[in-house]
């Protein structure tokens, strides 16, 4: 058991899991980072292109996308820590709240864009 790796609060627990599981957890971390970058990019693009959409709905949709993009790296970090700790301690994998939050956010953004199109 190595305690020289960061974060020690994770790596000092339990036993070293199969490397395939840790690497899959890291890929999931990177996927959340990618999703966050995409959401921020689309949110900024939606607002900066100033498309012919009702401005209030367009801004609301952009803000939702950017906030979702900010939430993804937070989920990436805390999700990685929780899963790695669970793997090391032989516990069941934890639930990811963003699995509910992200579809709700995207649905709300879609509704706002439809309203922005309908009211232009």
**pLDDT tier at 15, thresholds 50, 70, 90:** very high
Is 1 a member of any domain?
Answer: no
Residue numbers of the domain that contains 71: 8-118
pLDDT in tens, 18-57: 999 999 999 999 999 999 999 999 999 999 997 889 999 9
**pLDDT tier at 74, thresholds 50, 70, 90:** very high
Is 3 a member of any domain?
Answer: no
**pLDDT tier at 99, thresholds 50, 70, 90:** very high
Token code pair at residue 29: 């971390």
Is 55 a member of any domain?
Answer: yes
Contact 10, 88 (CB under 8 A): yes
Single out the residue of 34, 63, 29 nearest to residue 46, CA to CA. 63
Domains held by the chain: number: 1
Question: Would you give the DSSP letter of residue 91?
Answer: P
**pLDDT higher than 80, residue 1:** no
Long-range Cβ pairs for the range 1-10 (8 Å, 24+): 7/81, 9/81, 10/81, 10/84, 10/85, 10/88
Is 28 a member of any domain?
Answer: yes
Is 19 a member of any domain?
Answer: yes
């Amino acid at each position: 058991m190595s305690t020289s790796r960061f974060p020690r609060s994770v790596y000092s627990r339990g036993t070293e899991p199969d490397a395939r599981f840790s690497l899959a957890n890291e890929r999931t971390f990177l996927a959340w980072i990618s999703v966050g970058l995409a959401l921020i990019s689309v949110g900024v693009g939606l607002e900066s292109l100033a498309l012919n959409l009702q401005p209030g709905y367009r801004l609301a949709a952009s803000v939702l996308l950017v906030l979702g993009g900010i939430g993804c790296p937070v989920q990436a970090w805390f999700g990685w820590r929780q899963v790695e700790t669970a793997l090391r301690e032989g516990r069941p994998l934890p639930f990811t709240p963003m699995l509910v939050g992200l579809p709700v956010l995207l649905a709300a953004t879609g509704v706002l864009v439809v309203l922005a199109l309908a009211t232009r």
